[in-house]
Amino acid sequence: MSMIISLIVAAVTFGTVLMFGTLGEILTEKSGNLNLGVEGIMYMGGAFGLAGAFYYEKAAGAAASGPVAIILAILCAFAAGALASAIYSFLTISLRTNQNVTGLALSIFGTGVGQFVGEFMRLSEGGYVALGNNLKDAFSARIWPDALVNIPVVGNILFSHTVFFYLAVVLAVAMHFFLGRTRWGLYLRAVGESPSTADAAGISITRYKYLATIAGGGISAIGGMVYIMTTAGCVWNHEGLSGVGWLAVALVIFCMWRPLNAIWGSVIFGAMMIMYLRVSIPFIPTEIYKILPYVVTVIVLIITSMRNSRDKQPPASLGLNYFREER
Amino acid sequence: MREERTPFIRLAKRGSMDPRKIWLIRVSSIVIALILGFIPILLTGNNPIAAYGVIIDGSLSRPVYIRQTVKIAVPLLGCALAIAPCFKMRFWNIGGEGQITMGAVAATFFALNFAGTVPHVLLLIIMFLAAAIAGGIWAFIPAFFKAKWNTNETLFTLMMNYIAIGIVAWLQGGPWEGRKGSQLIPMFDDAARLPNVLGVHCGWILVLVLVVLMYFYMNKTKQGYEIAVIGDSANTARYAGMNVGWIIMRTMFISGAICGIVGFMTVSGANYTLYSGVANGVGFTSITVAWLSQLNSFAMIFISMMLAVLEKGANTLQTRMSVPASISDIITGILLFAMLSCEFFINYRMILRGKTKKEVEK
Amino acid sequence: MRKLGLMLLALVLSCTMLFAGGAGETATTASADGTTTVKVGLICIGDENDQGYTYNFIRGRDEATQILAEEGINVEWMTIFNIGEDASCIDANIEAAEEGCQIIINNSYGFEPFMLEVVDDYPEIEFISCTNCASWNDGRDNTHNAFANIYEGRYIAGVVAGMKLQQMIDEGQITPEEAVIGYVGAYSFAEVISGFTSYFLGARSVCPSVTMKVMFVGSWSDATAESDAALALIDEGCVMISQHSDNTTPATAAQSRGVFHTGYNNDMTGIAPNASLIGTRIDWGIYFSQAIRAYVNGEEIPQDWCAGMGEGAVVMTPLNEAIAAPGTAEKVAEVEAALADGSLEVFDTSTFTVAGETLTHAYALDTDGDFTADSEEAVYDGAFHESEFQSAPYFTVQIDGIEWLNSAY
């Protein structure tokens, strides 16, 4: 039992990273844009988030406060991701470039920018870029009082996480209501499902696509920052983020494009990625554990396409650009 | 309510454009991208012109450097050729990474187990065929589901990449491991290595032959025609009596097979061993190569060389000027953005509205 | 299209003419003021941000530069960071060679097979592979290996950890059975096995009830996996964490869970002031300066170099007096002296058993390339003699008291 609890708690740490990445991509894909640049976006979020907190600490010295650093890191990461997605949006929406190719280009570009910024900070700071212990603790601190954490079983599962986990959960719930209950959310879904119908109904396709994609990119980028600031120890890690963005893309499918599913989905994916350290099953080599998320995603993808049920499909226009004059 | 208004900019598809003008736009987009690349270089406190000089110098100034550059370009070109028919068909195969990896796995199996017992050339032929088949099968799986149940191929092929990479990671630490615990597969025996021609493994000749073959396949054969028809409209193809599902599966098998061959060339000619990063992003980068070349085989030679020059040159840039080598990814990204965008200006004409109203909605 | 291609090719070629030239001289240059300049390449698996393995090499690099500068030898370093244990290592070695390096040092174990693909093309350049072992029978003159007796340092770190555990037992914080060490290992092969075994023997020499759990992460440098593994070990009840991996995340993990830690490669007490007790590291400056000096003087760089605490090649980082058990510093000094004068053997076969038996036989070297040692008896005079027949460790025995939680790596 305690092993399962500790597995869940550990899974949440990496799951939080994925949850941000996935929620952002869900929002993007709901508008019909398949942004394959998540990998690059998360790299940029990680590098700029770290940079924001690092230079803030450098400027503020010992007076640096944890909450300010956290907010700055979130803002910097969001801005970096939003900027990267703005490039993607401009190209695919206004200049009508192919979404797959543009997304991959953004992956290459973003990875380059992230690594460049990380390396550049190291070179310009003479070798080592990391936050001081106080800020480091602030990023990985538990936010609930010990009394709650110490409740048997549920205490650890529910209350022992960092502030980022709760932010992500709030975001998921908010996004669920936004997409399902608000007019803007319905319009956004209409844009993703059937742009020509939405256009005829007077919804501005361009505006919704831009906003959803840019906001989505910003949210995904926060995931990269959370990775660097929690699991990687507030130090820039050259290859650390590689593959995380693609895993987030997989998780979008696993969650069937639903924000609420992302909450448990990300914990499951997080668990699969660390299970090799905690659960050893005879005859199954541990490396094989790490491909489980992808295998499961493929299976989900196949089953949904076979069952062909309407509400469990990718947005109908996913990956396709909308040209009014070709209507 | 929506009021009818004329957009600020209206777009109209151009009929045709003077080819010279088209090339002017394309070349200037490259130039603009390279100038944008000044920004990160300036940030590091270096002279951008000198930095580009180092990139050229580090990639083309000596025979060794040219060989190193070509070594980077070969898999890019090979994989771009593989991607082309799929993209022509509007089947978004972004699984090149996994297909390369599986081809490499199959080739490595024979390299590890039959070197020494099978003569050199025969062994290479076996490795070649095994890689082609393995890559082909890996690509066939998503194609089958696409044809049968219309499963989203972009996401399916993407997932297959990481499954393939995971399999290699397992082989590295498991059955094929060399020194116990090292997670390294032993280096290939000489009998399993591609011979060098002009200092680079002979894979470069192979891909150049493939360039010509692919050109003919796409433009002069019935199968190439079928692919083009499906790319225009799958429904038209169906009405014309084509078995669309079968053509998808066939094309994907060919595409995967070529990727597999690239994997074979990489392990046998360049790396001399197998590890999980064998594809090294080539499967993704080559997609942009193929697309920017407008799926034209000959143009791919140029584009892949250009990206290879950047990558190799950036390594020298790092060692000489301490500019992080990731600069090559940044400049590559900017180049891709610029070249993708410029097609818009070639294909569309912008008609500006009279300056009476000031709404900014596009 | 083709016309354009030709145009651009011409452009590229003319640029090449413009910027070509420079680089290329390879002999040591003696300048007028009597100083000699030598260019050395250092290819690293990570960068200084790991604050561990690669950072330790960079410290060695800077120290060697300083030592040699006083002797009139200027070392011009070309450091290449973040190279994987894959074919990019071939390219990095070619790059370093072409850019005029006279000595090229590869800092990671897995670099060697790739380095060996390059060495024959540059017979005039000396190649050094740290921590690996091919040079003694690869039939080449320009390849070298080097490692230090880090197991001595680990033994002492183990003593420090054992004293802390014994203190906790004596004060009633844990029962004797709860004195469990968790060890984050990179791979399950000799260098790591030798390291954690010596560490464990050090701890058990002062805390008889101690046991150890080892978890391998399958990577030299994967900050996240190292942290995850440390947390998993702590969840399994380990109260002391040590590591053979490149990053500092095991230290931060220990700190965050309120358990103790001993480090490798660097002083980690700054990063985890309430957890990290001590660390041990190789002082590469000793070797780098010797090798480069030999090269400049026209002497042979040793084919396989190995030194220990006596030569200063293995050093302990400062003891964290605030949290270490009382009397630790004195004990450390005593053990250091015993190791230096040879009265203490780390792998004394009377201190451990293998499946209940005393170890009487183990080979050191692999002569036929099948990755299993098959010659040179390492066990004699009542001890296993580590790093005597080659610098790279060859202790691969699984001793009683250490539990491997996973061994697929």
Residue B81, C-beta contacts closer than 8 angstroms, at least 6 positions apart: B207, B210, B211, B214, B258, B290, B297, B300
| CA-based nearest distance B116→chain A, Å | 30
Cβ contacts of C83 on chain B, cutoff 8 Å: none
How distant is the Cα of C302 from the closest Cα of chain B, in angstroms? 25
**In chain C, how many domains are there?**
1
Quick one: how many helices (H) and strands (E) in chain C? Answer: 10, 18
Cβ-Cβ contacts under 8 Å, A33 against chain B = none
DSSP letter at C348 equals: B
Interface membership of A94 toward B (CB under 8 Å): yes
Q: ipTM of this model? A: 0.90
Chain A residue nearest residue C231, CA to CA: A10
How many domains in chain A?
1
Give SS3 for B161. helix
Q: Is the pLDDT of residue A278 over 60?
A: yes
* H or E stretch at C278: strand C276-282
Burial B6-33 (b: 16+ CB within 10 A, else e): eeeeebeeeeeeeeeebeebbeebeebb
Contact at CB, B296 and C1, closer than 8 angstroms: yes
pLDDT cut 90: percent of chain A above it: 56
Higher per-residue pLDDT: A319 or B190: B190
Nearest to A240 among C215, C223, C256 (CB): C223
What whole-number distance in Å separates Cα of residue A324 and Cα of residue B18?
Answer: 26
Q: Is A153 on the interface with B (CB under 8 A)?
A: no
Tell me if chain A has a CB within 8 Å of the CB of B13. Answer: yes
B57-88: b (≥16 Cβ within 10 Å) or e: bbbbbbeebbbbbbbbbbbbbbbbbbbbbbbb
**pLDDT tens digits, A126-148:** 777 888 888 888 998 888 888 88
Picking from A53, A47, A41, the residue whose alpha carbon sits closest to that of residue A102 is: A41
Q: B7 at the A interface (CB within 8 A)? A: no
Interface probe, candidates A5, A8, A227, A238, chain C, greatest C C-beta count within 10 A: A238
Q: Which two tokens stand for residue A244?
A: 């995380």
Predicted pLDDT at B234: 85
**Sign of torsion over alpha carbons C241, C247, C251, C252:** negative
Interface check A113 vs B, CB under 8 A? yes
The secondary element (H helix, E strand) that includes residue C233 is helix C223-235
Low-confidence ranges of chain C (pLDDT < 70): 1-32, 407-409
pTM score, whole prediction: 0.89
Contact yes or no for B319 and C85 at CB 8 A: no
A99 interface with B at CB cutoff 8 Å:
no
B362 pLDDT higher than 50:
no
Q: Are B82 and B262 in contact (CB under 8 A)?
A: yes
A232 contacts chain C (CB < 8 A): yes
Residue C134: predicted pLDDT: 86
Least confident of A175-184, B21-30, C322-331: B21-30
Can you say whether the dihedral through the CA atoms of A185, A186, A190, A192 is positive or negative?
positive
Residue contact B27–C189, C-beta within 8 A: no
* High-pLDDT (> 70) share of chain B, %: 94
Residue B358: CB partners within 8 Å, gap ≥ 6? Answer: none
**pLDDT value at position B358?**
44
Please tell me the predicted confidence (pLDDT) of residue C14: 43
Chain A interface, best mutation among C80, C184, C213, C228, by max A CB count within 10 A: C228
CATH number at residue C237: 3.40.50.2300
For residue B5, the model assigns a pLDDT of 55
Q: What is the pLDDT of residue C278?
A: 95
Is there a contact between B285 and A285 if contact means CB atoms under 8 Å apart?
Answer: no
Q: Which domain holds residue C355?
A: 150-282+310-404
C16 vs B318: CB contact, 8 Å cut-off? no
* Number of Cβ within a 10 Å radius of residue C114: 27
Nearest to B154 among A34, A106, A298 (CB): A34
Range of the domain at A131: 2-326
Q: Give contacts of A 236-275 with C, CB under 8 A.
A: 236-240, 274
8 Å CB contact of B57 and C187: no
- The predicted pLDDT at position B52 comes to 94
SS3 assignment for B186-248: CCCCHHHCCCEECCEECHHHHHHHHHHHHHHHHHHCHHHHHHHHHHHCHHHHHHCCCCHHHHH
| Tens digit of each residue's pLDDT (9 = 90 or more) over B63-77 | 999 999 999 999 999
Q: What average pLDDT does the segment A80-103 reach?
A: 94
Q: CB of C262 within 8 A of CB of C282?
A: no
Provide the number of CB pairs (under 8 Å) joining chain A to chain C: 88
pLDDT, position B192: 92
Subunit contact A278:C235, Cβ cutoff 8 A: yes
Nearest Cα to Cα of residue B211 among B121, B131, B304: B304
Coil, helix or strand for C21?
coil
Radius of gyration of chain A (CA): 20
Which DSSP string do the residues of C56-71 spell out, in sequence order?
A: HHHHHHHHHHHHHHHT
Q: Does residue C87 contact residue B184 with C-beta atoms inside 8 Å?
A: no
**Which residue, among A248, A198, A197, A226, has the nearest Cα to A39 in the 3D structure?**
A248
Residues 6+ apart with CB under 8 A from B133: B106, B257, B260
Please report the DSSP string for B292-332 in residue order. Answer: HTTT-HHHHHHHHHHHHHHHHHHHHHHHHH---TTHHHHHH
**Chain B CB contacts of A243 below 8 Å:** 162
**Chain C positions in Cβ-Cβ contact with residue B273 (cut-off 8 Å):** 87, 113
Query: Are the CB atoms for A69 and A138 separated by under 8 Å?
Result: yes
Pairing of strands C126-130, C103-106: parallel
Q: Is the pLDDT of residue A326 over 70?
A: no
Confidence of residue B7 (pLDDT cuts 50, 70, 90): low
Residue B306 contacts A, CB cutoff 8 Å: no
- Measured between beta carbons, the chain C residues lying within 8 angstroms of A122 are 47-49
In this structure, what are the phi and psi dihedrals at residue C40, rounded to the nearest 5 degrees?
Answer: -125, 130
B105 touches chain A (CB under 8 A): no
Is residue C305 within a helix (H) or strand (E), and if so which, with residue range?
Answer: strand C304-307
**CB contact A6 to C (< 8 Å):** yes
At A137, the amino acid letter reads D
Q: Which helix (H) or strand (E) holds C261?
A: strand C260-264
The H or E element containing residue B55 is helix B48-60
Of B362 and C382, the structure prediction assigns the larger pLDDT to C382
Closest-CA residue of C relative to A287 is C408
Report the pLDDT averaged over residues B108-136: 94
Among A97, A100, A120, A325, residue whose Cα is nearest residue A236: A120
Rounded Cα distance, A244 and A241, in Å: 6
Residue A60 has pLDDT above 50, yes or no: yes
Chain C interface, best mutation among B23, B184, B306, by max C CB count within 10 A: B184
Inter-CA distances, C217 with A14, B40, C188, C232, Å: 16, 36, 9, 11
The answer to whether A140 and C256 have CB atoms below 8 angstroms apart is yes
Q: What is the pLDDT of residue A312?
A: 67
Interface residue A256 vs chain B (CB under 8 A): no
The closest alpha carbon to C312, from C334, C331, C290, belongs to C290
Q: Do C94 and B61 touch (CB under 8 A)?
A: no
For A229-252, how does the pLDDT look when each residue is reduced to its tens digit (9 = 90+)? 988 888 888 888 888 999 999 999
A206 touches B at CB < 8 Å: yes
Q: What is the 3-state secondary structure (H, E, C) of A230-265?
A: HHCCCECCCCCCCCHHHHHHHHHHHCCCCHHHHHHH
Name the 3-class secondary structure at C106. strand
Contact A100 B44 (CB under 8 A): no
Residues of C in contact with B181 (CB under 8 A): 187-190, 192-193, 216, 409
Binary contact (A233, C256; C-beta < 8 A):
no
Contact predicate C112/C43, CB 8 Å: no
How many residues are recorded in chain C?
409
C187/B181 Cβ within 8 A:
yes
Task: Identify the pLDDT of residue B343.
Answer: 86
Picking from A233, A238, A274, the nearest residue to C47 by CB comes out as A238
Q: What letter represents residue B208's amino acid?
A: L
Measured between CA atoms, the residue of chain C closest to residue B272 is C87
Identify the pLDDT of residue A309: 65
- How far is the C-alpha of A22 from the C-alpha of A11, rounded, in Å? 16
Contact residues on chain A for C218, CB-CB shorter than 8 A = 286-287
Residue C160 lies in a domain: yes
Between CA C53 and CA C244 the distance in angstroms is: 9
Question: Nearest C-alpha of chain B: how many angstroms from A143?
Answer: 36
Which residues, numbered 134 to 193 in chain B, qualify as contacts with chain A under a Cβ-Cβ cut-off of 8 Å? 145, 149-152, 154-156, 158-163, 165-167, 169-170, 172-174
Angle, helices A2-30/A163-181, rounded to nearest 10 degrees: 40
Q: Tell me the Ramachandran region of residue C148: left when phi exceeds 0, alpha when psi lies from -120 to 50, beta otherwise.
A: beta
